[in-house]
Amino acid sequence: MISLASEITDRKGQHARGWLFYDADCSFCTRIARWLTRPMKHRNLAIAPLQDPRVSALLGLSLEELLYAVRFLAPDGQQHSGAEAFLALAREIWWARSLIWLSKIPGVKAAMHAAYSWIARHRKCNAEACEQRPSPVQS
């Protein structure tokens, strides 16, 4: 059991085998975390916001480093971030293991990382809030 203080999940006296840490200021990230709550709970895994100061202490990272990507602290104590966090989490949930199989196909894992990076860069954007970013290639 990973002994992050269980107050984060309001489940006093219980510990989780692993933790998924997400950006609570991102509505997209929060929706994904809520969607994963039930399947994770059934496997004694928990979810907590990256912004909680106990997460920074547990993972040994600054808040700025933490908010760069979603994090998964696996039952074996290994830390994963970004697309690798979701692949590590998929190992824990039987119906998500197809992601692992797909990642073995040449080029698919690179595409997963690229997709995650794109989503992470745009996760707090919506049509009203984000300004147009200039194209990196200009004619």
3 contacts 55 by C-beta, under 8 angstroms: no
Q: Considering the entire predicted model, what is its pTM?
A: 0.76
Residues 113-138 pLDDT 10s: 999 999 888 876 544 444 444 434 44
d(CA 1, CA 44): 9
Q: What is the pLDDT of residue 95?
A: 87
What does the alpha-carbon distance between residue 4 and residue 17 come to, in Å, rounded to a whole number?
A: 10
CA separation for the pair 23, 32 (Å, rounded): 10
Q: What does the radius of gyration of the chain's CA atoms come to, in whole angstroms?
A: 16
Strands (E), 24-94: 45-49, 71-73, 79-81
Least confident of 20-24, 30-34, 81-85, 135-139: 135-139
Structure tokens at 55: 């997460």
Range 16-122: architecture per CATH: 3-Layer(aba) Sandwich (3.40)
